[in-house]
A and B are shown apart, each in its own frame.
Chain A
């Protein structure tokens, strides 16, 4: 059974960088596509980007200039860094496995608040 767990600071200051980690169990981070999404009251569910088994990544145009996804195969983890955050980046951030453009399963989510 594949399970995902997001972790990271719950509070980030404006203009700083948000950093989250997703730990995968029950599957290898080297297989499948792994993705980050977020959900906010203002914009609903948004896809941020994905990492491929090769380690390369793909991003939504909305996040391409600020997001960086990476993989640590030794820990079976992937990470999200989102730079220059503002209050608009306050959201619940999810990692999920992606298959043929659909997401299953999802992690439980991590609430990140951007505030000074």
Chain B
């Protein structure tokens, strides 16, 4: 089974700064099935990026995804106050191989 590892566990930054979040897979995966979500307290996860680099509908262009193979990155170019949340990567490796990373908490410095 593929295991996703996210780093750092917590990232403390200030509004206006750039955030770089990492998701590493335990083996090579297809980038077509790598997804990023944002979750705010008391809310369900919300899709941000699918197929590693495609923004979901309505997602601001300050969010971008990149990567291939085993290493993937979510970048937030300039942090807005509403961006402080927990971010998860997720991989679909065919049924039933769906896994989530443990998350990166992005909090205000």
Contact = CB atoms under 8 A, between A and B. Distances in A.
B96 A106 contact: no
B73 interface: no
Contacts of B67: none
Interface in A68-116: 94, 96, 100-109
Interface size class of B (residues with CB under 8 A): 20 to 34
Contacts of B47: 102-105
Interface string B21-52: 00000000000110101000001111100100
Interface in B57-109: 88, 90-92, 95-96, 98-100, 102-103
A101 B96 contact: no
B2 interface: no
Interface string A33-72: 0000000000011110110000000111100000000000
A101 B35 contact: yes
A69 to B, nearest CB: 13
Contacts of A104: 46-47, 56
